[in-house]
Structure 1
Amino acid sequence: MNVGRVTLKARRAEPFFGRHPWVYAGAIDKVEGDPADGAEVEVFSAANNFVARGLFNSQSKIHVRLYSWEPGVELNADFFRGRIERAVSLRHDVLKLGVPNAGYRVVFSEADYLSGMVVDRYADWLAVQFTSLGLGQRRHMIADVLRDVLQPRGIYLRTEKGIGRLEGVELHDELLWGEAPPADLTIEENGLKFLVNLAEGQKTGYYLDQRDNRAAVARLCVGRRVLDAFCYSGGFGLYAAKAGASEVLGLDSSAPALELARRNAITNGLPQATFQKGDVFGTLDDLAQAGRKFDVVVLDPPKFARNRAALPDAIKGYRRLHSLAMKLLDRDGILVSCCCTGLITMTDLEELVAQVAVSAGRDAQILERRGPSPDHPVAVTCRESGYLKCIVSRVW
């Protein structure tokens, strides 16, 4: 098999010997063998030492995504089967998530040493998302491996907005294999039932990464008035209602998401959970102007920045959101601050909460610093995979 050769610039190989998977164009000295986009290449240091094997893409800022650090290993079906089986072992053998009707992340991209691929399981269906051209080209091979290893009833491909421009890959949402997911596909999570729309829902259909955070926050909601901002299909709010919250108000701008939330509330017998459609910032402002107060406020917005150029505006957005929450939060209240913008660190988020609290004349105590559920692990060699921050604070 003819494999292209990528030689790194002098003194640029250390991160890749250290198993970081992203080789940016600026680290590369030369490319030999005229590899096609998506083809296998071997990466060498300037001193001619083998580093790793990966998939090439001249259209992406990440020119090579690395997958194997062993010489002579082909990135074929057997290789991907081994990686996928290792990922499944964590979820099934260690975390014990492979129970009937469960929802959990099976493969988490760089965190499972499969850069550019996410697989989520929802009961008997898989949702697959590719954010790299090389793996997108191999989607049918990977679907065959997933079918053999996990035996789902169907595999559905979800695409991420903007990935075509970033990676030069043309993918469309479609059924990759098997039966199409039903409209009433339901998963069970910690005693609650949630409808999942694989074809049209956000992300791959549901926010699996917040599973343990929802349970942790629910314990603080007994007998309390709860506001769940950016509630999507009801996650935090329905957990709070099941735990015994006296009132739950969920806010979101998506009508389809709120329809799922209302159906979820009915299915779980939680009439105290109500939902309101509108721009979340505007609705929070209206509630504050009306003098409404809550004992628990959950802020779980979407990603505000995808690159460093957007970071200043993202910080302003988080600051405004927290300022509105402070106005709505009663004395001795609980503030839950979630942030999935990877460029904002836990320290950044803590500092923002502190600044907003001081500006509002409030005292705040951090009760918990949390991350995603453990089926969303962080690779120690690519800590950028640790994106989700969740801070639980008491505000006086």
Structure 2
Amino acid sequence: MLIITIKQGKEKSLLERDPWIYASAVERVDGKPQEKMTAGITALVHSSSGQFLARAAYNSKSQIRARVWSFDPAEAVDHALIKRRVKAAVAKRIGKKGQPIHLVLGDEDGLSGLVVDWYSGINGYLVCEFQSAGVDAWKVPIVQALMAETGCGNVFERADALLRKGEGLLVKSGVLAGEAPPDAIAVTEKGVSTMVNIKTGRKAKSV
């Protein structure tokens, strides 16, 4: 496993539970060359004295060099963790009324870089943005967990070109499960209804 060593004095933010590790805070990264080039690979994060600080998703191509999965030395980064995080996020927001439901909100849910909106309920569409290499590497189990927890079988990936390019990731939108959403869907927020193309996140063009 990769080991990220943080520069002396730069561990303060991690001790305060800040999940982002910038390139400027990294002293060195030890591990196999192939692992260092694998975007989203799980790494141990140590202080300059060798103290465990976190487990994080490493990305050599991003200025946010790593994003923390867990500060708990006993918590493994595996399918079970992904399921727990998705389940907790859905349980926290699924009861809220309104459309869409902002289902997963990145760092707030321990899934840094993942944004998921749920449109039109169980027979509608889950629209996901994988904005970091860490969650991109766990895309399949994330989608499986989302479908299991919501009962929604239609999942679409919307790619933010600027964010994904900054992570060194391919920019590609498309269907991950079920059917593609239509070009226009009625979205009601704060009592105002608007026709939106949820594949792009922009207001739908008039016919």
TM-score between the two structures when normalised by the length of structure 2: 0.88
Instruction: Tell me the distance in 1 between the aligned counterparts of 2:83 and 2:159.
Output: 22
Report the Cα distance in structure 1 between the residues aligned to 2:23 and 2:184, rounded to whole angstroms: 45
Cα RMSD after superposing both structures = 2.0
Deviation at 1:152, TM superposition (A): 1.1
Match of 2:9 in 1: 11
Which residue of the partner structure matches residue 26 of structure 2?
28
| Displacement after TM superposition at 1:187 (Å) | 3.6
Q: CA deviation at 1:185?
A: 2.7
- Name structure 2 gaps, 5 residues minimum: none
1:107 partnered with 2:104: yes
Q: Secondary structure at the match of 1:106?
A: strand
Aligned match for 2:70, one of 56, 68, 71 = 68
Is the partner of 2:197 in helix, strand or coil? coil
User: In 2, distance between residues paired with 1:74 and 1:49?
Assistant: 17
Aligned to 2:133: 133
CA–CA distance in 1 between the matches of 2:26 and 2:157?
A: 32
1:285-296 matches, within 5 Å, as none
- Unaligned 5+ residue runs, structure 1? 203-232, 234-255, 261-396
User: Per-residue deviation at 1:183?
Assistant: 3.6
Structure-1 separation of matches of 2:192 and 2:160: 28
- Please report how far the alpha carbon of residue 190 of structure 1 lies from its aligned counterpart in structure 2 after TM superposition: 4.8
Question: Cα–Cα, structure 1 residues 128 and 6, in superposed 2: closer, same or farther, change >3 Å?
Answer: same
In 2: Cα distance, 1:189 partner to 1:21 partner: 30
**Identity within the alignment, %:** 28
Cα distance in 2 for residues equivalent to 1:120 and 1:132:
17
Aligned to 2:50: 48
Partner AA of 1:112 in structure 2: D
1:188 deviates by 3.9
How far did residue 43 of structure 1 move?
Answer: 0.3
Alignment correspondent of 1:266:
none
Corresponding residue for 1:119?
Answer: 116
CA contact (8 A) 1:24 1:62 kept: yes
* 2:150 equivalent to 1:150: yes
Distance 1:103 1:56, change over 3 A: same
**1:195-226 deviations in Å (ceiling 9; x for gaps):** 23122333xxxxxxxxxxxxxxxxxxxxxxxx
Deviation at 1:19, TM superposition (A): 1.1
Compute the displacement of 1:174 (Å).
Answer: 0.2
SS in 1 for 2:69: strand
CA shift, 1:86, in A, is: 1.6
**Normalization by structure 1: what TM-score?**
0.48
Alignment of 1:179-218 (within 5 A): 179-202=179-202
- Bigger proportion of residues as strand: 2
The AA in structure 2 aligned to 1:182 is: P
Report 1:246-257 matches (<5 A): 256-257=204-205
| Residue correspondence of structure 1 range 151-166 to structure 2 within 5 A | 151-166=151-166
